[in-house]
Structure 1
Amino acid sequence: MTDEIQQVPRTAGDAPRLRTIKSFVMRAGRMTEGQQRGLEQGWPRFGLELEDGPRDFDRVFGRSAPRTFEIGFGMGHSTLEMAAAAPEQDFIGVEVHKPGVGALLAGALARNLTNLRVYSCDALDVLRQCVADASLERVLLFFPDPWHKSRHHKRRIVQPAFAELVRQKLGVGGVLHMATDWRPYAEHMLEVMNAAPGYRNLSADGGYVPRPEERPVTKFERRGERLGHGVWDLKFQRVD
């Protein structure tokens, strides 16, 4: 989901065609009955469409409240915990993989949440096309694909263009919160964000922050801790 573009070969007389390098791949996944039921029953209540364009989220949620935008919520466990723990806040989650969307919707129905909405598409497209500037209090990016191989680093979502897009959508004082369990990617995130204009690193020493209490610990993270893996959290605040 980076903003880097490549020119696609063309035939004589055609205009150049550009394609965006995606930070994710579409994986085929089997839907469980519960996930399918979550999609069928939950989408009409919680689902939002990219094609509808700019949204008045005060109208969508029926109120004006602090708003969190989560990029790539996976199976939705953390999103559900955060939304349930903070009913005074509104959450917009975006995920491309349907089993995860179905799982989140099933959970939202089971908990009878009213402060959650979902997109199932490229999160950067949602930010560009649907979210007003300076309208978000937080943007969350937890455990994105680190694209370990050097030739794939261009696919990492955290790039200068990403930092600028998120800055535009955050209100002044709003925070971009990222977490990764891959040290080289954490170092890449830190390098990109420390160089990004309009941000302040909320770490006292200019590095990483302790795990914030508001970020739920996932089963994946607990397994990593048992295996001795680290997790690095970064928080950057928009200052102008």
Structure 2
Amino acid sequence: MPGPLAGGAEVTDQPGAAVRPTPEWREQWTLFQDSERFLFEEWIAPVNLEDLRGRTVLEAGCGGGQHTAMMAEVAKSVTAVADLASMDLGEQFDAVVCVGVIHHTDDPDRTFENLYRHLRPGGLIVIWTYSAEGNALVRHGVEPVRKLLLRRLTRPALVWVSRAITAAMYPVVHTVYRLAFLRSLPYYEYFGNFRRLSYARNVLNVFDKLNAPQTVFTTAAKCREWMSEERFEPGSISIRPYKGVSYSLSGVKQGE
């Protein structure tokens, strides 16, 4: 069975599935480990890990391999690939899972079409992606600063900035963002998760946003376009907002 190697590289049985992680991602996977099972399970809901039992799974965007290991507990096999848009594995899978990656690809539409192409009829797709809705502050505030200034920083400097930003957020998140009458504040739901996670995992979240070569925020309209009834069985389609800053998508591919 294909499996993860340290540092983000993945073993695969499939020809044409060469892993070519960029330096940004390779260093991120080496510096940070993501082992929060509950977070992964919430991202893929209403699908759960048991839904993958006995299936052949393509993990599209394998990261450091932590999610691969979780799915490998139940799946028949897991093929983990880092290069999504250009992969051509020559086979289709019972399930395709893409968590937190499609929004960082150069062309999310092309990536989605390639994921769909690798899913067999009757197979299950699961995608988690940053949303355009609810992310105005990041899109119009953080992103311009990142592109203008932060991309020039060395990786150690960016890690330091991520740690400093995370530490500065704690007093506000644990005081102001606990007040129920301020639920209309941006990222109120999201910061509920912030309080559940370790400092190290919160640093990873900040670093991920600052380190990414590009981020394309997915609109609700784009989610509906991807998860159309022409592609997926109507009763299976789920487009679920998560914490006001992302979407969880899932559906069963129409038979042919």
When the two structures are superposed, what TM-score results if normalisation uses the length of structure 2? 0.40
When the two structures are superposed, what TM-score results if normalisation uses the length of structure 1? 0.43
- Structure with the higher fraction of residues in strand conformation: 1
